[in-house]
Chain A
Amino acid sequence: MQFPSLEYLIFFPLAVAAWYAAAPRLRWAVLIGAGAAFLALASPTHFAFAFVLSLVNYFAGLALERWAETRKALWVLLATLAFDVGVLGLFKYGNAVLAGFAQLEALFGVAAPPRVLSLVLPLGISYYSFQLIGYLLEVYWGRQPAARHLGHFAATILFFPKLVAGPIERPHHFLAQLAAPKPFDPADVTAGLKLLGWGLFKKCVIADRIAFVIGPIFGHPRDFSGLPLAAAIALYTVQVYCDFSGYTDVALGSARVLGLELAPNFNHPFSARSVTDFWRRWHISLSSWTNDYIYRPLSMVISFHTSWRRVGTVFSILVTFGVLGLWHGATWNFVLFGLLHGAAVSVEALTSRARTRLLGRLPARVADRLNNVVTVVFYSLSCVLFRANSISDALYILGHAFVGIGHAAPIGAKRMFGRQYHILLLGLVFGALVLGRWWTRRRPVAARPTWQRWPVYYAVIAAIVILGLFQVNQFVYVQF
């Protein structure tokens, strides 16, 4: 089920009504039912996977706590991690591994028929399997107790707003909220609906229209050069932000209507002053997960057993970002994307004192602005790997985007025909947003009187209904 869809428009109010109608101690059952319906509408097997993985990890958590500090706990941890990673790996990377073997066989002249697994990736598995792995490690390290209530645990994993594209919630944060559900508060409902509306605006009015405009450029980059490619790179950065932060706003807003709080995923990422800082602000639930459960333990183990502190740090960063890239999908584009960011973070870690000394000679505002521009440009350029259909396409785009003013070749211009209206509309929307930002720089909309506030809300709703593109693209991050 997509968020901007008729199904969700019917499903969500029903789920909210059932949640508040149920006795607080039974509300977990409503969440399991809603999660089951949400997944089963796509296919009952999606629900079966999520439920079975929840069950296995629930019992593993209890065993880890029971056998804490013993060898048995380590075996339970390793076996359950192998199961979780194995299921995720089989469905997400199985065919890529088989294709790799086939290439290897071809290299040695072994003729074998092509092997392809006909597997459908269970919806949301990339997100909930990481939540489960984080939960296991928290219990194993003794930082959090094991969940006692199976219903609460399953409801935590099956909570529908975050099922298919996160945030990658820390189960203990959510379990505590389920143990003591908040009573109905109209303030939660209005705050949640505002966030939900804003998320839909970003997704349907901005992200999907940009996707429509730049689709032909990324689809056939060799028909373009210069400015159209540079504009497509810049617009894709805006698209991916509006798409994913829009999705997150809908997820957080839906949860808030139920009086529940999900982990934030964004904190003004484009104000970051380094790539390291960027990853503390972008897809926070994933970057903090990889930091806590890959980087920290790996760098610690290397530090305990070797004296290679700097090499260990760089190696751990590269592994962490390699996994972060690979998490998005089994393509070299994503691996390179991750490694590129890992390399940037490593360089920043190794040169932090020298950079501080060097930039200390500049006025603070200038140094901050410079760092910010470099970071945003780096991210935008790396996004080409994220969006391009192949590495060769990505290299073409990066190599031809900044060569002269450029042009759209006749065939390229033909591909863009009919999109002028959408480009104009995007310009108007961006103009309105810049004006809105100027208008609210001293006093946000929420703090303004009713006669100023409500026209803004109606304008956003009208923009979604009139200007929104529905069912054009699924959310970028749902495919992961």
Chain B
Amino acid sequence: MTPEAILLEVNKVFAEVFGNPSITVGPTTTAKDVPEWDSLNHTALIAAVEKHFQIKFSLREVMRFQNVGDMCALVRAKTGG
């Protein structure tokens, strides 16, 4: 998958988890930019991304995410994109 395609899919997961179809995220988006994205929803978001792409993250990998771009890059590496 291309980085753009992964971002598009990740965007769909965000919309579903946060119950907001109009949500738009980019590579530099952080939790501060999305009102619904708090630490309580973060776990659900990570689980949904894992399920969507059929991958598994480690704790260390998740704790290193600084923004959506970091998450997409790891998804791409894990899906062989």
Are the C-beta atoms of A297 and B43 separated by less than 8 Å?
no
Are the C-beta atoms of B46 and A303 separated by less than 8 Å?
yes
B19 to chain A, nearest CB (A): 7
B77 at the interface (CB under 8 A from A): no
Interface residues of A in 141-197 (CB under 8 A from B): 141-143
Are the C-beta atoms of B59 and A313 separated by less than 8 Å?
no
Most buried by A among B39, B44, B46, B60: B39
A301 to chain B, nearest CB (A): 6
Produce 1/0 per residue, A291-312, CB < 8 A to B. 1000111011101100001001
Q: Which residues of A contact B19 (CB under 8 A)?
A: 353
Complex Cα distance A297/B64, Å?
Answer: 11
The answer to whether residues A297 and B39 also contact, given A303-B46, A309-B44, A309-B47 and a CB cut-off of 8 A, is: no
B interface, by DSSP: helix, strand, loop or mixed?
helix
Give the number of chain B interface residues (Cβ < 8 Å). Answer: 17
Q: Which residues of B contact A276 (CB under 8 A)?
A: 38, 40
Most buried by A among B47, B60, B64: B60
Complex Cα distance A291/B63, Å?
Answer: 12
Are the C-beta atoms of B39 and A291 separated by less than 8 Å?
yes
Q: Which residue of the partner chain, among A140, A142, A143, A313, contacts B43 with CB atoms under 8 Å? A: A313
Closest to B40 in A: A349
Are the C-beta atoms of A303 and B40 separated by less than 8 Å?
no
A247 to chain B, nearest CB (A): 27
Closest to B36 in A: A352
Closest to A68 in B: B60
Q: Which residue of the partner chain, among B39, B47, B56, contacts A296 with CB atoms under 8 Å? A: B39
Are the C-beta atoms of A300 and B46 separated by less than 8 Å?
yes
Interface residues of A in 229-276 (CB under 8 A from B): 276
Q: Which residues of A contact B63 (CB under 8 A)?
A: 137, 141, 143, 296-297, 300
Q: Which residues of A contact B34 (CB under 8 A)?
A: none
Are the C-beta atoms of A303 and B47 separated by less than 8 Å?
yes
B52 at the interface (CB under 8 A from A): no
Q: Which residue of the partner chain, among B42, B47, B57, B60, contacts A141 with CB atoms under 8 Å? A: B60
Are the C-beta atoms of A300 and B40 separated by less than 8 Å?
no
Complex Cα distance A142/B66, Å?
Answer: 11
Complex Cα distance A142/B40, Å?
Answer: 23
Give the number of chain A interface residues (Cβ < 8 Å). Answer: 21
Complex Cα distance A33/B45, Å?
Answer: 47
B55 at the interface (CB under 8 A from A): no
B58 to chain A, nearest CB (A): 8
B18 to chain A, nearest CB (A): 11
Complex Cα distance A295/B19, Å?
Answer: 23
Complex Cα distance A172/B49, Å?
Answer: 30
Are the C-beta atoms of B39 and A303 separated by less than 8 Å?
no
Q: Which residues of B contact A296 (CB under 8 A)?
A: 39, 42, 63
Closest to A73 in B: B60
B5 at the interface (CB under 8 A from A): no
Q: Which residues of A contact B66 (CB under 8 A)?
A: 143
B23 at the interface (CB under 8 A from A): no
The answer to whether residues A142 and B59 also contact, given A309-B43, A309-B47, A313-B43 and a CB cut-off of 8 A, is: no
Q: Which residues of B contact A301 (CB under 8 A)?
A: 59
Complex Cα distance A297/B38, Å?
Answer: 14
Interface residues of A in 305-342 (CB under 8 A from B): 309, 312-313, 317
B1 at the interface (CB under 8 A from A): no
Are the C-beta atoms of A300 and B39 separated by less than 8 Å?
no
Produce 1/0 per residue, A125-139, CB < 8 A to B. 000000000000100
Closest to A140 in B: B60
Q: Which residues of B contact A304 (CB under 8 A)?
A: 56-57, 59
A308 to chain B, nearest CB (A): 11
Interface residues of B in 1-48 (CB under 8 A from A): 19, 38-40, 42-44, 46-47
B47 to chain A, nearest CB (A): 5
Are the C-beta atoms of B64 and A300 separated by less than 8 Å?
no
Closest to B62 in A: A300
Q: Which residues of B contact A349 (CB under 8 A)?
A: 40
29 CB contacts below 8 A, A to B, read A140-B60, A141-B60, A142-B60, A142-B64, A143-B63, A143-B64, A143-B66, A295-B39, A296-B39, A297-B59, A299-B39, A299-B42, A299-B43, A300-B43, A300-B46, A300-B62, A300-B63, A301-B59, A303-B43, A303-B46, A303-B47, A304-B56, A304-B57, A304-B59, A309-B43, A309-B44, A312-B43, A317-B40, A349-B40
Measured CB to CB, the residues of A under 8 A from B are: 137, 140-143, 276, 291, 295-297, 299-301, 303-304, 309, 312-313, 317, 349, 353
Task: Please provide the 4 A-B residue pairs with the shortest distance between their CB atoms, ordered closest to farther.
Answer: A141-B63, A299-B43, A349-B40, A303-B43
10 new A-B contacts at CB < 8 Å, known A141-B63, A276-B40, A300-B62: A142-B64, A276-B38, A291-B39, A296-B39, A299-B39, A304-B57, A304-B59, A312-B43, A313-B40, A353-B19
